[in-house]
Amino acid sequence: MNYPNKIKKQQNNIIYSNRGMSLENMINESNKYYLDEDKALIYKKPTPIGIVDVSYENHQKIIKKAYFQTQSTLDYNGIYKGKYIDFEAKETKNKTSFPLENIHPHQIKHINSVIHHGGISFLLILINNVVYLLKGEDFINFVNNNTRKSIPYSYIKEKGFLIKYNYLPVLDYLKVIDKIYNIKEINYEEENKNY
């Protein structure tokens, strides 16, 4: 919480340097805002690692050797208005298309499964200095109906939804989610009666 400090910090660090901020940092800041405001619970999953060697220093367990592993799901998930949310964020320096090698086959399968089980899944793509939300459905559609190894920028602009840069949160992607998915306000009283 501690709002006055936080806003000050954001003024100094974020607003003047949006362009230099990584997509991951923008999403993490936005998720922290959603959490503080009790709007949604969305977290980045830690990077999975394979531990080879550990030792103890001053009674603390320390990893001495480990490898990075590939996430078999997407990086971010959580809950918003009773709905399961699951997404991936990717930046590309490519100006004309989004290379599909950025998304692994098991992640494509995962997006399909999330939608099948009634959840909301999408990609946030930073391309040409702007962020687009591409619905999992449109992403899967492209992959299934094309042999290309990248999604043209024109497809992202046509099917995707622009997330405008904002003050607080930096990337208000839930506002876009509200618009494009049919999400009802949940009645918490009604929900809690069931338990």
Binding site for a second copy (CB under 8 A): 38, 40-41, 43, 45-49, 60-68, 71-73, 77-84, 86, 110, 113-119, 135, 137, 181-182, 186, 188, 191-192, 194-195
Q: Between 27 and 153, whose beta carbon lies closer to a second copy?
A: 27
Q: Between 91 and 137, whose beta carbon lies closer to a second copy?
A: 137
Q: Between 11 and 69, whose beta carbon lies closer to a second copy?
A: 69
Q: Between 21 and 183, whose beta carbon lies closer to a second copy?
A: 183
Q: Report the nearest approach of a second copy to the CB of residue 160 (Å).
A: 14
Q: What is the DSSP string of the chain?
A: --HHHHHHHHHHHTGGGGGGS-HHHHHHHHHHHHHHTTS-EEEEPPPPEEEEEEEEETTEEEEEEEEE---SS-SEEEEETTEEEEEEEEE---SSEEEGGGS-HHHHHHHHHHHHTT-EEEEEEEETTEEEEEEHHHHHHHHHH---SEEEHHHHHHHSEEE-B-SSSSB-HHHHHHHHTTPPPP-HHHHHHT-
Q: Report the nearest approach of a second copy to the CB of residue 134 (Å).
A: 13
Q: Report the nearest approach of a second copy to the CB of residue 38 (Å).
A: 7
Q: Report the nearest approach of a second copy to the CB of residue 178 (Å).
A: 13
